[in-house]
Amino acid sequence: MKYTNFKKEDIFLQENNRYNSTMKRADAPTITYSLIEWLDNRYDNKTITTEISVNTTFGTKIADVVVSNGHSIAYEVKSAFDTTKRLNAQVNGFSEMFEYVYLVYWDGKYNLKGLNLPSNIGLIKAYWKDDKVCFGIVQDARINRLATSFNIAPFLWKKELRYFLGLKQQKFKMSDDKDTLVELFSKNYGKRDSVRIFRYVLKNRFELGFSVFQKLKDLKAFRSNKSDINYPLQYS
């Protein structure tokens, strides 16, 4: 993966440079809520969810916000109160799974040149305007083509793995553990089909939680209704 050739500098701007304690700043939950509202208005035919855990070569990473709208898009939120110690591992890990990855950052807080982010990462600034958090796209994300069946298979539930193996008429035992099912899936599905399945699962598994959020307008809706374990598997 190519990296932007930025000069390494301190990640944070000096506190007394552009910021002081009297300026209004937003925490991560406030930015996340506003981001979901913004994305809801921006995209049609989508499912949005929060805190998706994925296994990567950089370890297990949790995407703050995920959109499935025919593509898979991950958003990492950094508020005015966050650090960037794990940022490169996070966005590089997400790039192994999601087609597009964005960093959403609090405007004026971070020295972007010092972050040394991969060139595929999109940038969205968050800022206060008229007593609400607003967003502006600074840099569009570039598509990742790193996802493989080996990356995606562990994300699937056992019932999902069995379903997709059944579509391939691949024999398995109901007593097979997940590792066995993951191995069979990886052998039977290529890169392109695995990416399509990942989009499908994101769109349908978390659709119920998103619909509850739209009604309640509360981030807690994602925690209590996050995954629909009984969603109908009707992939084509």
**Tens-digit pLDDT profile for residues 41-94:** 999 999 999 999 999 999 999 999 999 999 999 999 999 999 999 999 999 999
CA distance 40 to 116: 30
Give percent of the chain with pLDDT exceeding 90.
79
Q: Domain coordinates of the chain in residue numbers?
A: 15-139, 149-219
Domain 15-139 has CATH 3.80.10: no
CA distance 168 to 130: 54
pLDDT of residue 215: 94
Give percent of the chain with pLDDT exceeding 70.
90
Is the pLDDT at 3 greater than 50? The verdict is: no
CA distance 22 to 84: 23
Is the pLDDT at 212 greater than 70? The verdict is: yes
CA distance 134 to 68: 22
pLDDT of residue 115: 87
Segment 143-155 mean pLDDT: 96
Helix (H, G, I), strand (E, B) or coil at 207: helix
pTM above threshold 0.85 = yes
| pLDDT band of 16, cuts 50, 70, 90 | very low
pLDDT of residue 226: 85
pLDDT of residue 9: 40
Locate all alpha helices (DSSP H) within the chain, ordered by sequence.
15-18, 28-42, 87-95, 149-152, 158-167, 178-188, 191-205, 207-216, 220-224
Calculate the average pLDDT of the chain.
89
Phi, psi for residue 113 in degrees, rounded to 5: -65, -30
Q: Give 94-128 pLDDT, tens digit per residue.
A: 999 999 999 999 998 888 888 889 999 999 999 99
